[in-house]
Amino acid sequence: MKIKEIYEKKQVLSFEIFPPKRDIALQNIDETLEVLCSLNPDFISVTFGAGGSSNNNRTIELAKRIKKDYHIEPLVHLTCLTYGKNEIDEFIYQLNENGIENILALRGDRNPELKEKEEFLHASDLTGYLKKKTNVCIAGACYPECHPESENRIEDIKNLRTKVSAGADFMVTQLFLDNNRFYSFYEDTRIAGIDIPISAGIMPVINKAQIEKMISLCGVSLPEKFRRIMNKYEHNKEALFDAGMSYAIGQVIDLLASEVDGIHLYTMNNPKVAKKLCDGIKTFI
């Protein structure tokens, strides 16, 4: 099923997982999937390593299992900066072979160690190519606090509009900790004439290293309330976990009540996080 059709009917709930490394047992992912699927999400997305990670074969493998064993629609991520048309064609072929109908078309992060091919410079180039070559449903990424390479919100939303014109059917946001940032971004997209659904990306923060990574890699801002909680419990692992989970659950409840198009939850393949999150939100969906 094409995920865009689900947005026409309801507020969409989705989760994101990543393929486990070859040498790590699949047990964690199975445990996580069992928990996530108990909430009957509308789709589960599977990440893709930019630049040809050896794990990438597992993206389709895992997506196939989500569809076949759990009867949930998979959304397969695909990055393009380091690929040419032949490699993208091969990926499309594999998707067709496995009956996968939904792709999250991404550029991928720049990495000086990876050679960029010049065939797909932006996610919108990949989106346009997929639109021409396939009839899959295409999602795109967006950034309530601006993509780190963008000079400002106006430029970022202008580029987002190009991605929508190229054929994106819906968007999923980068994680954020301040719902007001999302509401203001969403309003700006509507003013700019973007009318496709946008799912809000939420990641529970459960340790300090994760916060530092979020700030440096994603440019996420930390609201005062969040800072206070983290400062108070940073040396108490258990309390920090519970506080981070409660904070994320609070964000989700507020977003649901605000009738957002959808919620996309990043669970980091952690069954404990998945369970706590699912228990916390199940009465609200």
Interface contacts to ligand FAD, rule CB under 6 A:
47-48, 50, 77, 79, 106-109, 122-124, 141, 147, 149-150, 156, 159, 162-163, 172, 174, 201
Shortest approach of ligand FAD to residue 50 CB, angstroms? 3
Burial of 147: CB neighbours in 10 Å, binned 0-12, 13-18, 19+: middle
* Active-site choice (5, 8, 16, 155): 16
User: 120 vs 241, which CB is nearer to ligand FAD?
Assistant: 120
Q: How far is the CB of 43 from ligand FAD (least distance, A)?
A: 12
Element (H, E) at 55: none
Nearest distance from residue 146's CB to ligand FAD, in Å? 8
Neighbours of 97 (CB within 10 A): 10
Instruction: Give 192's Cβ-side CA count (13 Å radius).
Output: 21
Distance CA 203, CA 54 (A): 26
Q: What angle do CA 272, 275, 281 make, to 5 degrees?
A: 140
Smallest separation, CB 108 to ligand FAD (Å): 4
* 16 among known catalytic residues: yes
> Measured from the CB of residue 235, what is the shortest distance to ligand FAD in angstroms?
31
Q: Which of 28, 150 has the CB closer to ligand FAD?
A: 150
Specify the residue, 108 or 204, whose C-beta has the smaller distance to ligand FAD.
108
160 class by beta-carbon count within 10 Å (0-12 exposed, 13-18 middle, 19+ buried): buried
Nearest by Cα to 201 from 140, 153, 150: 140
Q: Which residues contact 119 (CB under 8 A, 6 or more apart)?
A: 80, 83, 84, 85, 125
Which residues are part of the catalytic machinery? 16
